[in-house]
Amino acid sequence: MAVAAIVCGPGGVDGVTYAQVGGQQIGCGTDSQGNALFLQVSTLSSDAPVEGGAGVGLEIGGAVFGVLAVAWSVRVIRDFINNSGGEA
């Protein structure tokens, strides 16, 4: 199953399908260096992962796991202090 999406990207790239109105590319802003960006039609024709997606997924998953680990550690320390660590 092919999935099409409209994305914003640089102009003048070979092999890219640009959205057009009246034969003109549709602008969607500029990048941080002032280069014009245009609407592109991106089509995913297979279930293969998007290039770079696995690395980003691991980074985000690692960050979420780290936050959960810190929250769990704070809770365990708090419960220890409240239940037995603070008593004489």
Based on the domain organization, do 58 and 33 belong to the same domain?
Answer: no
Residue 86 has pLDDT above 60, yes or no: no
In which residue are the tokens 């202090």 written? 81
Based on the domain organization, do 67 and 34 belong to the same domain?
Answer: no
Based on the domain organization, do 35 and 70 belong to the same domain?
Answer: no
Structural domain including 28 reads: 3-44
Q: Which two tokens stand for residue 64?
A: 């979420």
Based on the domain organization, do 54 and 86 belong to the same domain?
Answer: yes
Q: Which H/E stretch holds residue 4?
A: strand 3-10
Based on the domain organization, do 81 and 58 belong to the same domain?
Answer: yes
CA 56 to chain centre: 7
Q: Which two tokens stand for residue 63?
A: 């960050």
Q: Which pLDDT value is given to residue 64?
A: 94
Based on the domain organization, do 56 and 79 belong to the same domain?
Answer: yes
pLDDT digits (tens, 9 = 90+) for 58-77: 788 899 999 999 999 999 99
| Residues 58-84: b if buried by 16+ CB within 10 A, e if exposed | eeeeeeeeeeeeeeeeeeeeeeeeeee
State how many domains the chain has.
2
Based on the domain organization, do 72 and 38 belong to the same domain?
Answer: no
End-to-end C-alpha distance for the chain, whole angstroms:
67
Based on the domain organization, do 85 and 55 belong to the same domain?
Answer: yes
pLDDT digits (tens, 9 = 90+) for 17-70: 888 899 888 999 888 998 899 998 877 666 666 666 667 777 888 999 999 999
Based on the domain organization, do 55 and 88 belong to the same domain?
Answer: yes
